[in-house]
């Protein structure tokens, strides 16, 4: 059973983010996504993070951050531990969308995913997001600019 709990605990978010089964999905060559990045995202007015548990065990987190200059749009970041992936992650995502919309109204989502992260690409499709573009990041992974796929849900 999936459960969500709102959290502002940057330490918890960073702990999940730095879990060995998650870290590489976010990391670039300089490891620039740090606790300070998490704190900065959470300090954005209107940002929300949900702690995800599955069957009473830590499952990860889902974070929505309003996009400056684009009213009604949020960039969403997710980090799921191995016990909360696949259909469990999709269930958590749909519950998070419902949680957000019940409190704040319709949610338009944008996610950026590394093009080489096949599970994350599939997750976005399973959650009903549509690919709307691609971009090259200024961050490097293995010495190469990261290729990103942009997904949206309107």
Residue 95: predicted pLDDT: 96
The answer to whether residue 27 sits within a structural domain is yes
Checking if the pLDDT of 111 tops 80, the result is yes
Count of domains forming the chain: 1
Reply yes or no on whether the pLDDT at 1 is more than 90. Answer: yes
Is residue 52 included in any domain, yes or no?
Answer: yes
26: in domain: yes
Tokens, residue 95 = 């519950």
Q: Does any domain span residue 134?
A: no
Q: Is residue 78 assigned to a domain?
A: yes
Whole-model pTM? 0.89
Residue 86, phi-psi category: left (phi > 0), alpha (psi -120 to 50), beta (remainder):
left
Q: Which domain holds residue 95?
A: 2-110
The CATH number of residue 51's host domain is: 3.40.630.30
Q: What is the mean pLDDT of residues 84-92?
A: 96
Written as six digits, the tokens of 142 are: 């293995």
What digits encode the pLDDT tens for the residues 122-132? 999 999 999 99
pLDDT at 33: 61
pLDDT, one tens digit per residue, over 19-64 is 888 877 777 766 656 666 788 889 999 999 999 999 999 999 999 9
pLDDT reading at 8 higher than 70 = yes
Average pLDDT score over the chain: 91
Residue 56 lies in a domain: yes
């Amino acid at each position: 059973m999936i459960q969500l709990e709102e959290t502002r605990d940057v330490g918890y978010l960073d702990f999940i983010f730095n879990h060995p089964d998650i870290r590489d999905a976010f990391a670039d060559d300089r490891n620039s996504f740090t606790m300070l990045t998490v704190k900065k995202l959470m300090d954005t007015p209107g940002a929300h993070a949900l702690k995800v548990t599955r069957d009473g065990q830590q499952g990860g987190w889902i974070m929505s951050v309003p996009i400056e200059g684009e009213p009604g749009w949020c960039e969403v970041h997710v980090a799921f531990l191995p016990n909360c992936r696949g259909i469990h992650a999709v269930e958590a995502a749909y519950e998070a969308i419902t949680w957000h919309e019940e409190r704040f109204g319709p949610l338009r989502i944008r996610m950026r995913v590394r093009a080489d992260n096949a599970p994350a690409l599939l997750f976005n499709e399973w959650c009903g997001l549509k690919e709307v573009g691609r971009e090259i990041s200024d961050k490097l992974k293995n010495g190469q600019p990261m290729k990103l796929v942009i997904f949206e849900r309107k």
